[in-house]
Homo-oligomer: A and B are copies of this chain.
Amino acid sequence: MNESLTPPAVTLDEIAKAAGVSSSTVSRILNGTAKVSRAKQQAVEAVIEKFNYRPNVLARSLASGKTETVGVLTQTVASPFYAEWLRGIEDSLHEPGLTPFFMSCRWNVAEEKSRIEQFIARRVDGIIVLHGQLDEASLASFARQTPIVVLGRSLNNVPGLAGLPIDNVQGARDMTRYLIAQGHRKIAFIAGPTTHIDAVQRLLGYRLALEEAGIRFSSQRIEQGDFLEAGGVDAMARLLARKAAFTAIFCANDQTAYGARLTLYRHGLRVPEDVSLVGFDDVPTSQYSTPPLTTIRQPIYELGRQAAAAIVRLIRKEPVTLTPVSLDLIERETVSAPRLPSRSPVPVT
């Protein structure tokens, strides 16, 4: 190819020389740190333009001791859910002049820890963790080096560490109550991974609502999913295979609901005419699924903004008080009154 690649970048010193001023003057012009005569100002700016000079961020950070960045740790990047969070974070970090630094750890605790260490090694000003399975002690320990905000978890009040919990129990309870109010009493539930706190809480909310309505909780109507479409497909198939009786299905998240929906379709069961189906999360595509999915809406984008605002306050050493976010039920088109009360739908195949 060509050997003239990546010529040594122009430095501040070279600009200073070319403009006939000291390097401090150039630095001052760059940062507006102090008054500089208009003459020199313009001379320097001309040279900068000519050489197409861009300050080296690394050197700048090393000297100033601040990086103006915040590390954002996601579990996965391949999820509509996380994408919305990131958008909120990015938007909200833009105004305070902070640059987000995204990394993902694929639901792997060891990697989660290693990523956080990488962030710290990069001297980020703060860290936002989305979900996260790291134990609270470790988090608190890391937080002594850099402020951390954890989205989706409730955390004890430690300096430099804040958790923004999401009230999954309330959301799941509301949804279950809603189904009951529509006349359903046999409500199946496709759960998420038992290792996932959100999944556990949603199952709990479902159970609580049943009990308060005097409906017996039956493990016969519970199936295990994995928060992904594939898990929904399989769980739904198992539910049908064992001829569980239900008139509605509550899925632990929207992706699970999509999977369940496909299996129902394969069995010739219509939604919502034959069976009602609901999800949880309200990912962006849920309003466009066919039919549009009734679900519990997490204000994902807004949560991202809140997390960003919180980390900014933490960085500025201002107090933060995060209140649990409540979730709203979004009524769309996958629920109707039970077709045949107290009779299970008959699988076609």
Bound Cα distance A100, B118 (Å): 12
The 6 closest A-B pairs by CB, nearest first: A2-B159, A229-B288, A78-B83, A102-B102, A54-B121, A265-B290
Query: A209: shortest Cβ distance to chain B, in Å?
Result: 27
Bound Cα distance A83, B104 (Å): 11
Q: Which residue of B lies closest to A80 (CB)?
A: B80
Q: Are the C-beta atoms of A87 and B83 separated by less than 8 Å?
A: no
Q: Are the C-beta atoms of A147 and B262 separated by less than 8 Å?
A: no
Question: A residues touching B (Cβ–Cβ < 8 Å)?
Answer: 1-2, 4-7, 9, 54-59, 61-62, 67, 76-80, 82-84, 86-87, 90, 99-104, 117-118, 120-123, 144-147, 159-160, 229-230, 233, 255, 258-259, 261-262, 265, 284-285, 287-292, 317, 319
Bound Cα distance A79, B86 (Å): 11
Q: Are the C-beta atoms of B258 and A288 separated by less than 8 Å?
A: yes
Bound Cα distance A90, B122 (Å): 18
Bound Cα distance A86, B67 (Å): 24
Other-chain residue from B56, B83, B160, B290 in contact with A121 (beta carbon distance below 8 A): B56
Known contacts A78-B80, A258-B288; A117 and B54 CB within 8 A of each other: yes
Q: Are the C-beta atoms of A77 and B67 separated by less than 8 Å?
A: no
Bound Cα distance A9, B84 (Å): 34
Bound Cα distance A213, B83 (Å): 42
Give the chain B neighbours of A57 by CB distance below 8 A.
Answer: 118, 121-123
